[in-house]
């Protein structure tokens, strides 16, 4: 389990410093030692809060991944709520996938984290900047890896085809794919995961609850941050019913599903509040029988239903 830290940055609702530290402590108590963050999360707030917690522990005891592609600029006129994050510092995001921008981003992330290195750096959401990201950002990150500033690098995206371009065109070590390899949405399974397995690229899977549809599949439930189509809600409902027949919560199956694939290294979980961390750990420990996996595989919806 890798703890995602978007919530530490005030994703959708404010989080206090005390709540952030309590959530991180709850994760640490459950032997979570890997953390994924980004400048985007609360315009640096998540990195700052994570760094404040990790400075108390031995550096060799944990791993951190952060991201590049968004530089942060102090701006007293910036709102404290933007792009889904609330209660944030007065900063604005500037997209930059240049070699200089990547190096500056890593330097500034290390400063916010209070660390001398991170294990993984991911090119964050490069869909609209692919030529520069595949050229300049990739080259700069390979250089930083050679220098020992990072141990490895890759791409973090919601798009399986974008991730696959990095796998095939660069010497990336990692892929973080969000939402595209879930018990419901298996688009990454077609060609991305086989390409990663072939090239030895390690895969992190995030967004396994598909924005909440796989927590509570009801009409109006979100999928990819928008109301899910009725056909997709019905498909998720059928999966929930199959799980219930086996005494397994749907979210337990959803959280555990990606690790069945040999190319997947770990699941990045989203809830960073103490109660959610505890619930996630409990769901990951629920036994899921092989018969249920077979039923869920048979219930995968037609890809045409996916937005």
pLDDT digits (tens, 9 = 90+) for 141-180: 999 999 999 999 999 999 999 999 999 999 999 999 999 9
Q: What percent of the chain has pLDDT over 90?
A: 97
Closest of 13, 29, 17 to residue 277, by C-alpha: 29
DSSP the chain: -EEE-GGGGTBSS---HHHHHHHHHHHHHTT--EEE--TTTTTTHHHHHHHHHHTTS-GGG-EEEEEESEEEEE-TTS-SEETTEES--SEEEEE--SHHHHHHHHHHHHHHHT-S-EEEEEEES-GGGHHHIIIIIHHHHHHHHHHTSEEEEEEEES-HHHHHHHHHHS---EEEEESSSSSS--HHHHTHHHHHHHHT-EEEEE-TTGGGTTT---TT-EETTEEPPHHHHHHHHHHHHHHHHTT--HHHHHHHGGGGSTTEEEEEE---SHHHHHHHHHHHTS---HHHHHHHHHTPPPGGG--
Give the architecture (CATH level 2) of 2-305: Alpha-Beta Barrel (3.20)
Strands 118-124 and 150-157: parallel
- Calculate mean pLDDT across residues 122-137: 98
Checking if the pLDDT of 6 tops 90, the result is yes
Per-residue confidence at 8, pLDDT binned at 50, 70, 90? very high
- Calculate mean pLDDT across residues 87-91: 97
Residue 225 has a pLDDT of 87
- Cβ atoms 43, 71 nearer than 8 A: no
pLDDT in tens, 218-271: 999 999 989 999 999 999 999 999 999 999 999 999 999 999 999 999 999 999
Residue 239 has a pLDDT of 98
Residue 229 has a pLDDT of 94
Rounded to 10 degrees, what is the CA torsion of 235, 237, 241, 244? 120
Per-residue confidence at 305, pLDDT binned at 50, 70, 90? confident
- Cβ atoms 191, 183 nearer than 8 A: no
Q: What percent of the chain has pLDDT over 70?
A: 100
Q: Which of 41, 97, 181, 225 is catalytic?
A: 41
Residue 297 has a pLDDT of 97
Domain spans of the chain, in order of start: 2-305
Q: Is 12 designated active site? A: no
- Cβ atoms 73, 108 nearer than 8 A: no
Residue 293 has a pLDDT of 98
Residue 158 has a pLDDT of 97
- Calculate mean pLDDT across residues 60-83: 97
Residue 307 has a pLDDT of 84
Residue 57 has a pLDDT of 86
Residue 279 has a pLDDT of 97
- Cβ atoms 65, 121 nearer than 8 A: yes
Q: For 127, phi and psi rounded to 5 degrees?
A: -50, -40
């Amino acid at each position: 389990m890798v703890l995602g830290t978007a919530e530490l940055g005030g994703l959708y609702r404010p989080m206090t410093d005390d709540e952030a530290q309590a959530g991180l402590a709850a994760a640490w108590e459950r032997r979570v030692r890997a953390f994924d963050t980004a400048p985007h999360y609360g315009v640096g707030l998540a990195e700052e809060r994570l760094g404040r917690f990790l400075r108390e522990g031995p550096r060799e005891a944990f791993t951190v991944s952060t991201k590049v592609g968004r530089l942060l600029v102090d701006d007293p006129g910036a709102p404290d709520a933007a792009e889904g994050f609330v209660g944030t510092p007065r900063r604005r995001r500037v997209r930059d996938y240049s070699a200089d921008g990547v190096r500056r981003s890593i330097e500034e992330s290390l400063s916010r984290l209070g660390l001398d290195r991170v294990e993984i750096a991911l090119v964050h959401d490069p869909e609209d900047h692919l030529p520069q990201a595949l050229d300049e950002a990739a080259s700069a990150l390979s250089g930083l890896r050679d220098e020992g500033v990072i141990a490895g690098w890759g791409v973090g995206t919601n798009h399986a085809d974008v991730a696959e371009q990095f796998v095939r065109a660069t010497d990336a070590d990692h892929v973080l794919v969000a939402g595209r390899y879930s018990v419901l949405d298996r688009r990454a399974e077609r060609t991305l995961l086989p390409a990663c397995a072939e090239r030895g690229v390690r895969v992190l899977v995030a967004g396994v609850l598909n924005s909440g549809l796989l927590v509570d599949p009801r009409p109006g439930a979100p999928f990819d941050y928008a109301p899910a189509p009725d056909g997709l809600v019905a498909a998720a409902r059928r999966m929930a019913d199959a799980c219930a027949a086996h005494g397994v919560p749907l979210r337990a199956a959803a959280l555990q599903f990606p690790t069945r694939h040999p190319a997947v290294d770990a699941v990045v979980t989203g809830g960073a509040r103490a109660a959610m961390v505890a619930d996630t750990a409990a769901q990951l420990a629920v036994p899921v029988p092989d018969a249920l996996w077979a039923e869920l595989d048979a219930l995968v919806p037609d890809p045409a239903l996916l937005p």
